[in-house]
Structures are given as structure tokens and as C-alpha cells.
């Protein structure tokens, strides 16, 4: 079941970016999916141990990535949110509204994407999509192999830092593969992200150095397709 994660999500763009689904169909989001609580963004724990994704993603990278990089986006999002709220109440510095809105787009999207990213992976992942998601992938991309080829190509070719994303495009009701530069640029508005791979260098450089394509190939072995399928089911319900 999906849960909204708070009022702040409404200003992050891409509609329901912050919503999360549970693969087991439970009523409550897992602790690892909760990115907003009591009026502020929070850093949720990983849904597994730091070394759970070895040998595909190494423990040191996971520790730095989650504890330092993701935590930084949470702090940045809260600061921006606080500044924007103060402008709304007349206490803030209105000439800087553009700056803080851009800060919220960057840090808030960074936070949302990392929450999604951690939950898209599992130690016994990989393989192929199942059920309705598998049918949708075949309908949109011809075959699962075709999707894999496209996802790896699009993710591997992001200019600079960003993400490869499989998303549910709400106007067509179909699936699309898109890029995000940084965390928030190149979004197709209204697209609900189902699966995302982080292709910022901080996500892979310790283990893979400049070989981003090898990292994206390895990522395919840790995808939690049950989780991605649950997000697809929720996206279709609107
Ligand atoms: Fe990252």
C-alpha cells in the first residue's frame, strides 16, 4: 500500500515522487521508506545491511553514500523548506524565493530519489520482472531484454551526474525510460518513478572507477522486482 510522506512532497515536482510502496502489500510503509516525519525530512535506515549488496555494490560505498551523501540532501531539503515556509509567512527574504525553490528542487529530489534507490535493491535481487509489470514492460519495450538494453544504455549515458529511471507515464499509461541530470532535471512531469539507478560518481567510483557501464550492469543483479512491481500497481491506481 502506498503512503504519502507529507505535505512537503507536493513542492518537489514530478507529482508523487515521494510516495513509496511495500512489496509485501502491507498497510504501512517500511521504516526504510519513511522520508518525512513530524514536519521535517528524515533519513530512513537502509532496508538491509551495508554489505548486503556485495559483491555488486561494496560496503564502503554504501556507508558513504547513505550516511554522508544522502544525509546531506536531507539537511539541504529541510533548510530550503524552512526558508520557503518563512517566506510564506512573511518573515523570510522574498527576493531569494527563487534560490530556495531551486534548492528544494535539488535537495528534495535528491532525498526522494535515494529513498527510492535503496528500496529498489535487495541482496537476492535481479532476474526478471513478474506479473503485471512484466506484461507492461513487454507492451512498452517489446521484451524484457529490450527494456534491459534500453535501461542500461540510457543510464550509462547520463551527462555528468544523474539517474536512469523506469517510470509510469500517467498520460499514456505506459512505461518510459528517462534520465535525470542531477536529481531533478529532464523529468517528464507526471511520471511516477518505479525503478532508479544512481549514476552519480559517488555511487560507484570506489569500486568501478570510470567504468559506469560495468556498475549499471552489476546493478541489474540487485534489483528488487517485487518492490518495483508493487510501485507499478500503486501507480496504476493513481
Ligand atoms: Fe547518490
- Ligand 1 (single-atom ion) residues, CB below 5 Å: 198, 200, 203
Gyration radius of the chain over CA positions: 17
The string of pLDDT tens digits covering residues 152-164 is: 999 999 999 999 9
How many angstroms separate the alpha carbon of residue 129 from the centre of ligand 1? Answer: 24
How many angstroms separate the alpha carbon of residue 18 from the centre of ligand 1? Answer: 16
The full DSSP string for 3-61 is B---GGGGGSSTTTTT-B--TT--SS--GGG--EETTEE--PPPSS-TTTTTTTS-HHH
How many angstroms separate the alpha carbon of residue 118 from the centre of ligand 1? Answer: 10
Question: Would you state the pLDDT for residue 56?
Answer: 98
How many angstroms separate the alpha carbon of residue 200 from the centre of ligand 1? Answer: 6
How many angstroms separate the alpha carbon of residue 119 from the centre of ligand 1? Answer: 13
What is the full per-residue pLDDT of the chain (238 aa) written as tens digits? Answer: 333 333 233 333 333 344 444 544 556 899 999 999 999 999 999 999 999 999 999 999 999 999 999 999 999 999 999 999 999 999 888 999 999 999 999 999 999 999 999 999 999 999 999 999 999 999 999 999 999 999 999 999 999 999 999 999 999 999 999 999 999 999 999 999 999 999 999 999 999 999 999 999 999 999 999 999 999 999 999 8
Q: Count the neighbouring beta carbons within 10 Å of the beta carbon of residue 78.
A: 20
Phi-psi region of 180 (alpha: psi -120 to 50; beta: other; left: phi over 0): beta
Q: Are 220 and 153 in contact (CB under 8 A)?
A: no
Question: Would you state the pLDDT for residue 27?
Answer: 63
Question: Would you state the pLDDT for residue 171?
Answer: 95
Q: How many CA atoms lie within 13 A of 12 on its CB side?
A: 26
How many angstroms separate the alpha carbon of residue 70 from the centre of ligand 1? Answer: 7
User: In Å, how far are 110, 118, 152, 227 from 196, measured between CA atoms?
Assistant: 12, 9, 11, 12
How many angstroms separate the alpha carbon of residue 224 from the centre of ligand 1? Answer: 18
C-alpha cell at 117: 534507490
How many angstroms separate the alpha carbon of residue 92 from the centre of ligand 1? Answer: 31
User: In Å, how far are 12, 69, 183, 215 from 209, measured between CA atoms?
Assistant: 31, 18, 21, 9
Q: Which residues contact 115 (CB under 8 A, 6 or more apart)?
A: 18, 20, 32, 33, 35, 44
Phi, psi of 179 (to 5 degrees): -105, 155
In the chain, the domains with their CATH numbers are: 7-47+56-119 (1.10.287.990), 131-237 (3.55.40.20)
How many angstroms separate the alpha carbon of residue 88 from the centre of ligand 1? Answer: 30
How many angstroms separate the alpha carbon of residue 91 from the centre of ligand 1? Answer: 33
Nearest of 188, 177, 180 to residue 158 by alpha carbon: 180
Amino acid at each position: 500500500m502506498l503512503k504519502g510522506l507529507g505535505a512537503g512532497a507536493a513542492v518537489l515536482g514530478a507529482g508523487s515522487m515521494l510516495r513509496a510502496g511495500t512489496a509485501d502489500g502491507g498497510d504501512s510503509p517500511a521504516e526504510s521508506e519513511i522520508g518525512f516525519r513530524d514536519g521535517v525530512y528524515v533519513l530512513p535506515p537502509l532496508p538491509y545491511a551495508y554489505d548486503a549488496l556485495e559483491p555488486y555494490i561494496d560496503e564502503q560505498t554504501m556507508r558513504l553514500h547513505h550516511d554522508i551523501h544522502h544525509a546531506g540532501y536531507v539537511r539541504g531539503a529541510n533548510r530550503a523548506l524552512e526558508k520557503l515556509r518563512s517566506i510564506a509567512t512573511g518573515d523570510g527574504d522574498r527576493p531569494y524565493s527563487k534560490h530556495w525553490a531551486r534548492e528544494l528542487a535539488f535537495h528534495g529530489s535528491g532525498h526522494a530519489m535515494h529513498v527510492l534507490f535503496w528500496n529498489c535493491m535487495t541482496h537476492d535481487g535481479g532476474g526478471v520482472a513478474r506479473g503485471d509489470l512484466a506484461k507492461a514492460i513487454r507492451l512498452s519495450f517489446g521484451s524484457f531484454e529490450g527494456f534491459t538494453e534500453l535501461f542500461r544504455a540510457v543510464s550509462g549515458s547520463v551527462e555528468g551526474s544523474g539517474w536512469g529511471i523506469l517510470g509510469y507515464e500517467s498520460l499514456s499509461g505506459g512505461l518510459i525510460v528517462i534520465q535525470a541530470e542531477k536529481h531533478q532535471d529532464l523529468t517528464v512531469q507526471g511520471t511516477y518513478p518505479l525503478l532508479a539507478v544512481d549514476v552519480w560518481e559517488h555511487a560507484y567510483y570506489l569500486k568501478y572507477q570510470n567504468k559506469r557501464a560495468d556498475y549499471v550492469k552489476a546493478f541489474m543483479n540487485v534489483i528488487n522486482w517485487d518492490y518495483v512491481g508493487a510501485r507499478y500497481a500503486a501507480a496504476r491506481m493513481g
